[in-house]
């Protein structure tokens, strides 16, 4: 599974172990915690269907961050050393996971999820 690198970033740096990022510092990724995802699903089950788009498809909001900002925050929160971070971008992987555009969620906003 290619996206496991995000999980590894948290766990390896928290354990004060080296992490090699397969995407560049400038890579933009979308993030949502497991807790937020569960809350969104629970909220989605109770939304007023009259407020939903006809398609009933809603893109939920997520955080969009650069990889360097994410890793810097993990380092700050875990008191790890930034010297544990290595950069070895893989173009194919970055193309899939590191080029997320700004996320707009008008259907979610209209349905009252924000």
DSSP annotation of 99 reads B
Query: Are the C-beta atoms of residues 22 and 85 closer than 8 Å to each other?
Result: no
Q: Tell me which H or E stretch contains 31.
A: strand 28-31
What pLDDT is attached to residue 41? 82
Among residues 99, 87, 101, 102, the alpha carbon closest in space to that of 5 is found at: 87
Q: What is the pLDDT of residue 42?
A: 85
User: Contact at 8 Å (CB) between 29 and 21?
Assistant: no
Residue 114 has what pLDDT? 61
User: C-alpha 106: how far from its chain's center?
Assistant: 19
pLDDT tens for the chain, 114 residues: list them: 777 999 999 999 999 999 999 999 999 999 998 898 888 888 877 777 777 777 777 788 889 999 999 999 999 999 999 999 999 999 999 999 999 999 888 877 777 766
């Amino acid at each position: 599974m290619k996206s496991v690198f995000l999980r590894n970033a948290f766990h390896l740096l928290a354990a004060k172990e080296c992490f090699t990022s397969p995407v560049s510092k400038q890579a933009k990724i979308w993030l949502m915690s497991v807790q937020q995802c569960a809350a969104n699903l629970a909220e989605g089950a109770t939304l007023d269907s009259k407020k939903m788009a006809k398609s009933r498809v809603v893109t939920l909001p997520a955080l969009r961050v650069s990889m360097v900002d994410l890793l810097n925050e993990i380092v700050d929160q875990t008191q790890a050393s930034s010297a544990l971070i290595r950069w070895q971008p893989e173009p194919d992987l970055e193309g899939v996971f590191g080029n997320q555009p700004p996320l707009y969620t008008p259907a979610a906003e209209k349905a009252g999820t924000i």
